[in-house]
Chain A
Amino acid sequence: MSAPRRAPPAVRDTPVLMPARSPRWRRQSVMAVFALLGLGLMARAVFLQVFDHDFYRGQGDARQQRTVAIPAHRGMLLDRHGEPLAISTPIQTLWGNPQGLVEQPGALREVAAILALDPQELQDSVDSAARRGREFMYIKRHVTPLLAERVMSLRVADLAVQREYRRYYPSGAAASHLIGFTDIDDRGREGLELAYDEWLAGVPGKRRILRDLSGREIAGMDILVDAVPGRDLRLSIDRQLQYFAERALLDAVAEHRAESASVVVMDIASGEVLAMSNLPGYNPNDTADRSGGRQRNRAVTDVFEPGSTMKPFTIAAALTSGQYTADDIVFTSPGRYRIGKYVISDARDNGWLDLRAIVTKSSNVGVSKIATTLEPEQMWDVFDRFGFGRPPGSEFPGEVAGYFNHPSAWHHVEQASVSYGYGISVSVLQLVHAYAAIANDGLMPAVSFLATEEAEPARRVIGAGVADELQDMLEGVVVDGTGGRAAVPGYRVAGKTGTSHRSQSGGYADDRYVSVFAGFAPVSDPRYAMAVVIHDPKAGEHFGSQVAAPVFAEVMSHALRLGGVAPDDIDERLRTVASPAKVPARVGSDRL
């Protein structure tokens, strides 16, 4: 009877395995745990898909996409006539992902063979880059497009090319100091390349690319920012004149076994530097050639004691002071002048000299006697106006101001020594700039390394009358004074020689000299000023009149010829006066 109430015997036999009734809370809690797990998964999915979407998308792209730079073309440097002085030419750079390359030793050997690299070295550098976890390394920078194509035709995975630019200087060493050079990334490092880097450089762009598993570019995606090419820059330099200046210096340095030399030619009206050459030089196309002092633009960054080439400025101060006229005479006998314990001496006893003769015969005694009668402030002011002790404002990197004390710091002999160019240091650029002011009737132009359409207004430094008298005295130096070898046939030339002892620690060297010549031409209507400085000539001759003046004559003759300047000192028989009506309106050269 009670059978229906009983459980079946099978059930009864297994009461431990399956209890007829488990507690309710147990089932429910298991359900809840599973539900929570499911919810957790769903929430995670939602977070991944919705909230973290951008992050993971970005991560994915980062593994496939790359943003690569589009290099910008650097502007050319041109000479004043538009001839190229520096050109950037496209070139390829090979780079790779060491993580992938490390597993392809065979391919690396082939690449090394084409690029003429040492295969073992290449393998080693790839290995070490891979060990350090790098994903980028240069295989070889700056290879010719042809070579790059040969390498790429091997179709090595994880190897890519990138376009870059290499700077090329067609004039070689001729204008190297002035132009300077760029580094391997085509950024200006020296000279005008550095000074005008921002103008020349342009702005690199950005491009996004898609890559496949082996790192090859499959499709260009889009240009994010296009590259803006740099702008060209026209310099004041005349390439031909630069060549002549360089060659004349090379000859002079070889002939006199000199240590270094500089020459600067300037247009006196516009202040444009037409040629600037220094020795020793370097070839800017050869990175190995840029060592030590070879790359310094000495004409702008180095100073020297100008010696007698300062005398015209002392005379300018004397004439400006109103205490002297050009005809005043000074007693220079016996060729020695004692100031305290210092003795200033001349090469010979010149007796009575007028101001003109003091300049043409280059009398230290005469000019010192004049200087010591001048107000120190007034003399300083005239020198200061000529730019001594001030940077010339050329924007050239590293230009120097020279060294010229204010009178408050002068000791008693300094006023005399400055008058003939000791105790004052100038750069060649400052010297030529000051002579340009004399040649330009007392108006000092602003120095420029760029071709100028309209010159900045010149600054008056001395009266036109004083400048005129100085021009006449300086012509006398060449006609019947110490500067005879600076004469250029057919032209009236003016200038001043200078020879100074080189200063060294503890005083002046007895047997080491600086030979200087500074001047301008043609005197009837001056066009070009020029200074030549030759350091430490060791072949016997050392006077400015012997060493520097012939270089001046050589370079100036080319400047006048290239500039189409009419000779102003020729035989009557060589001249024909033509009626303007019968001659075409434009005759002659446009050069310079």
Chain B
Amino acid sequence: MNRWSILSIVLAALCACSAVTVAWSQHLSRAAWADISQSRRAVEGLAVRWSQLQIEQSTFSEHGRIERAARERLSMSHPTLESSRLIVLGRPAGIR
């Protein structure tokens, strides 16, 4: 065997290795794509959930609803002036 045939065999082996790695990396890329797609779907699902929760929260905390509940269920009312006490720190300013 001369030098050239050894070189050819080595090159052929390298070529085969490269072919296998190409296939392998293709596989990895597909797997990664599947992962990323799944994550994207998860993100989307969470975004949907998050906006639903925000809408829900702001609907429940809507002022009219709270006020109705306070008035009707808990018999609360706005404090009147007579039932309030103003506590002023130090010298009151601008009050006549």
Contact = CB atoms under 8 A, between A and B. Distances in A.
B1 interface: no
A524 B47 contact: no
A300 B92 CA distance: 39
Interface string A71-84: 00100000000011
Given A219-B33, A576-B85, A170 B90 contact: no
Interface string B33-77: 100010000001001100110110011011110000000000000
Nearest to A242: B63
B88 A87 contact: no
A244 B87 CA distance: 27
B31 to A, nearest CB: 12
B48 A89 contact: yes
Contacts of A88: 51
Given A84-B54, A87-B54, A570 B81 contact: yes
Interface string A144-171: 0100000000000000000100001011
A88 B52 CA distance: 10
B58 A84 contact: yes
Interface residues of B, number: 31
A206 to B, nearest CB: 15
A490 B81 contact: yes
Contacts of B51: 87-90, 168
Given A89-B48, A89-B55, A567-B81, A577 B33 contact: no
B85 to A, nearest CB: 6
Interface residues of A, number: 39
Given A83-B58, A87-B51, A570-B81, A243 B64 contact: yes
B82 A574 contact: yes
Contacts of B55: 84, 87, 89, 168, 170
B94 to A, nearest CB: 4
B3 interface: no
A568 interface: yes
A568 B58 contact: no
A489 B89 CA distance: 22
Contacts of B85: 574-576
Contact of A576 (B48, B58, B82, B88): B88
Contacts of A472: none
Contacts of A145: 48
Nearest to B63: A243
A583 interface: yes
A365 B84 CA distance: 44
Nearest to A83: B58
Contact of A240 (B48, B58, B63): B63
Interface string A89-119: 1100000000000000000000000000000
Nearest to A247: B64
A343 interface: no
Interface in A544-592: 561, 566-570, 574-580, 583, 587
Contact of A580 (B47, B89, B92): B89
B92 A577 contact: yes
Contacts of B6: none
Contact of A574 (B84, B90, B92): B84
A218 to B, nearest CB: 11
Nearest to B61: A83
A520 B20 CA distance: 81
B21 to A, nearest CB: 21
Contacts of B96: 492, 524, 568-569
B59 A567 contact: no
B81 A566 contact: no
A6 B61 CA distance: 121
A75 to B, nearest CB: 12
A87 B55 CA distance: 8
Given A83-B58, A90-B47, A247-B64, A578 B81 contact: no
Contacts of A570: 81, 86, 95
B44 A90 contact: yes
Contacts of A89: 47-48, 51-52, 55
A575 B89 contact: no
Nearest to B60: A170
A524 to B, nearest CB: 4
A271 to B, nearest CB: 22
A569 B59 CA distance: 37
Contacts of B94: 524-525, 568
A104 to B, nearest CB: 27
28 contacts: A83-B58, A84-B54, A87-B58, A90-B48, A170-B62, A220-B37, A243-B64, A490-B84, A524-B94, A566-B95, A567-B84, A567-B86, A569-B96, A570-B81, A574-B81, A574-B84, A575-B88, A576-B85, A577-B87, A577-B89, A577-B92, A578-B90, A579-B89, A579-B90, A580-B89, A583-B87, A587-B87, A587-B89
Given A171-B62, A243-B64, A583-B87, 5 more contacts: A83-B58, A220-B33, A566-B88, A575-B92, A578-B90
